[in-house]
Structure 1
Amino acid sequence: MPEIPARSGSAAALLGRVPRVPGCCRWGGSGVAAASGRVLAAAAPGPAKLTHPGKAILAGGLAGGIEICITFPTEYVKTQLQLDERANPPRYKSIGDCVRLTVQDHGVRGLYRGLSSLLYGSIPKSAVRFGMFEFLSNQMKDLDGKLNSRNSLLCGLGAGVAEAILVVCPMETIKVKFIHDQSSSHPRYRGFYHGIREIVRTLRGVRGTYQGLTATVLKQGSNQAIRFFVMISLRNWYKGDDPHKEMNPFITAAFGATAGAASVFGNTPLDVIKTRMQGLEARKYKNTMDCAYQIIKNEGSLALYKGTVPRLGRVCLDVAIVFVIYEEVVKLLNKVWKTD
């Protein structure tokens, strides 16, 4: 029986020497090319699946709620250190001193003062963040379902701005005032709902909870731009040419912690300015630029990095936990919620 010689790089080379069967179509050049295309198509992995924004919203909200319950004490300490102005003079000597005095004055529960405001906000915040990111990234992914680093930066920026306007600014204003109130000699807020009512009343409406909006947008936008840029870049590097390569939770956590650290070093000054603009003494600042100027003038440029160490610990843990929970919940939702 006559045979077709195998040529290097053709389908025949992959399959061996292909016999010609009488009565069947003859294998010419086009036939070999077609067979080659079928073999290569079968061998090549398909494009990565897009994540439905609805799944992202649900998974992001769940991840945000769990994360904040774990990491809130570090957020409390960071905020207290940022509010502790050198000109007053400072009350806390160090991170440990802040923890010691808080527990001494208010018990261990004192480290969770303001948790309710952040918990109620963290669920919608993460939901908006991941929902917006997936919505934008689905528009920017290539034909293989891959998002490049530049587009991940833009999608992260969009997600950060959206969460800042819709959730973060009013939530952070309330949280900072709760924490700042506890450090005063005569706390005014008797509980979460009483505090909300008093804050809204003294700020003359909900609009008043948007103190420091510019700083918050800058902070959240740069935060998520940096985090998603680093996370997607590391994920693309790890997966290489195989978009279906699985990432175990430990790898995801390591990449998330790295992304969190990068965002801390990249935008802590914005976080300090935002915190001051939302504190109980925010009225002494005319705007975001004036706040930055007064901090540098009165306390020195290093004051813009107050709270970096507790923030670093909190954010690295925060981002690692959120990405791990988010990825695992999305995997589970893909099994029970078919959107393809």
Structure 2
Amino acid sequence: MSGSESTQTPPMVSLIAGAVAGGVEAAATYPFEFAKTRVQLHNNPTNPRPRNPFLVISEVFRTEGARALYRGCSSLIIGSMGKDAVRFLAFDAIKSAYKDPETDTLTPMRNMLAGMTAGIVASICAVTPTERIKTALIDDARGEKRFHSGLHAIRVLYKEHGLLALYRGFAGTTLKQAGATAFRMGTYNILKDFEHARHIEQGVATNFANGCVAGIVTTYATQPFDTIKTRSQSARGATTLEAFKGILSDGGVRGFWRGTVMRLGRTICSGGILFTVYEQVAALLKPIMAPRYR
């Protein structure tokens, strides 16, 4: 995925490379996601959770076992594969429509707009339902323990509340995805176009570094949406407005950035992993699949 390449990435390459990258990134960084979600769901001011993700992970490992750190992981991996397949496909297609034909690049604003559009598409098609199941499983594990697996959670929630139960927190999730994809993909491609203009060679190290920077920018810019989304998608569920009021009541304005340190632990690594894997898989697939689109 690059705004600086003169040839359009074939749709199937974007789809497959995005799915592989999303799955690898989710599996590699899930414990950080687990720790972040636990902190965002915890609202007892008399017993605050540590902000250090490694402390949360070690506490869960000690009290609940290693398997607990991957509670809801399969849901996130499946969701990440679908999410990143859709958003890379959408981003590459939108980017091709927005780019300047003379320079074969996008302006920073168009990079952000392409990312925002791709994020909305991904939220509708994949992100909201899978994030709802992942969050419900993590929340349920610390309380009622009524969900046995991701599929079981889907059946229970569907039986109790219908299809809309899987889209609980849709507004918050879509806002987060639109913002996160705009900042993550937009920042990555702005950096890549900047380097291309200065003839900086692209490689694994450059891709990883650019992805890490994109992860940092994305985290600080979109953390409030992530916190609202997490509260909305807890096991009991809540509307976006209820989640907003609850966070404000629990921790004030600063409460919207609860879990930032833990999310940074994941997004810095995940940004590097996601874009590096995507670029490597796309590079392998393009020579095979590009001729079909000529």
Mapped partners of 1:212, 1:90: distance in 2: 27
Report if the CA contact (8 A) 2:29-2:270 is conserved. yes
Q: Which consecutive residues of structure 1, in runs of 5 or more, have no partner in the other structure?
A: 1-45
Q: After the TM superposition, which residues 45-84 of structure 1 pair with which residues of structure 2 at under 5 Å, given as runs?
A: 48-84=6-42
Report what 1:238 is aligned to. Answer: 195
Q: After the TM superposition, which residues 110-149 of structure 1 pair with which residues of structure 2 at under 5 Å, given as runs?
A: 110-143=68-101, 144-149=103-108
In the TM superposition, residue 91 of structure 1 has moved relative to its aligned partner by 5.9
Report what 1:208 is aligned to. Answer: 165
Report if the CA contact (8 A) 2:43-2:250 is conserved. no
Mapped partners of 2:217, 2:49: distance in 1: 27
In the TM superposition, residue 77 of structure 1 has moved relative to its aligned partner by 0.4
In the TM superposition, residue 90 of structure 1 has moved relative to its aligned partner by 3.9
Report what 1:254 is aligned to. Answer: 209
Q: SS of the residue aligned with 1:169?
A: helix
Mapped partners of 1:115, 1:282: distance in 2: 20
Letter of the structure 2 residue corresponding to residue 318 of structure 1: S
Once the two structures are superposed, residues 151-175 of structure 1 have per-residue CA deviations (whole angstroms, 9 ceiling, x without a partner) of 1111000010011111111111100
In the TM superposition, residue 289 of structure 1 has moved relative to its aligned partner by 3.4
In the TM superposition, residue 98 of structure 1 has moved relative to its aligned partner by 2.5
Report if the CA contact (8 A) 1:84-1:90 is conserved. no
Report what 1:292 is aligned to. Answer: 244
In the TM superposition, residue 241 of structure 1 has moved relative to its aligned partner by 6.2
After superposition, the Cα gap between the structure-2 partners of 1:90 and 1:197, relative to the gap in structure 1 and judged at 3 Å, is farther
Report what 2:62 is aligned to. Answer: 104
TM-score w.r.t. the length of structure 2 is 0.92
In the TM superposition, residue 76 of structure 1 has moved relative to its aligned partner by 0.4
Report if the CA contact (8 A) 2:133-2:150 is conserved. no
Paired positions, count:
287
Report what 2:283 is aligned to. Answer: 331
Task: Determine which of 243, 248, 253 is the counterpart of 1:301.
Answer: 253
In the TM superposition, residue 60 of structure 1 has moved relative to its aligned partner by 0.3
Mapped partners of 1:304, 1:63: distance in 2: 29
Q: Which consecutive residues of structure 2, in runs of 5 or more, have no partner in the other structure?
A: none
Mapped partners of 2:195, 2:268: distance in 1: 20
Mapped partners of 2:142, 2:55: distance in 1: 14
Letter of the structure 1 residue corresponding to residue 141 of structure 2: Q
Task: Give the structure with the larger helix fraction.
Answer: 2
After superposition, the Cα gap between the structure-2 partners of 1:280 and 1:91, relative to the gap in structure 1 and judged at 3 Å, is farther
In the TM superposition, residue 246 of structure 1 has moved relative to its aligned partner by 4.1
Q: SS of the residue aligned with 1:173?
A: helix
Once the two structures are superposed, residues 71-101 of structure 1 have per-residue CA deviations (whole angstroms, 9 ceiling, x without a partner) of 10100000000000135x5463443443233
After superposition, the Cα gap between the structure-2 partners of 1:79 and 1:136, relative to the gap in structure 1 and judged at 3 Å, is same
2:119 is aligned with 1:160 = yes
Mapped partners of 2:223, 2:7: distance in 1: 35
Task: Determine which of 320, 323, 340 is the counterpart of 2:272.
Answer: 320
After superposition, the Cα gap between the structure-2 partners of 1:92 and 1:136, relative to the gap in structure 1 and judged at 3 Å, is same
After superposition, the Cα gap between the structure-2 partners of 1:327 and 1:96, relative to the gap in structure 1 and judged at 3 Å, is closer
RMSD, aligned α-carbons: 1.9
Report what 2:220 is aligned to. Answer: 265
Report what 1:275 is aligned to. Answer: 230
Letter of the structure 2 residue corresponding to residue 280 of structure 1: A
Letter of the structure 2 residue corresponding to residue 260 of structure 1: G
TM-score w.r.t. the length of structure 1 is 0.80
Q: Which has the higher contact order (CA 8 A, sep 6+)?
A: 2
Mapped partners of 1:169, 1:161: distance in 2: 10
Q: SS of the residue aligned with 2:205?
A: helix
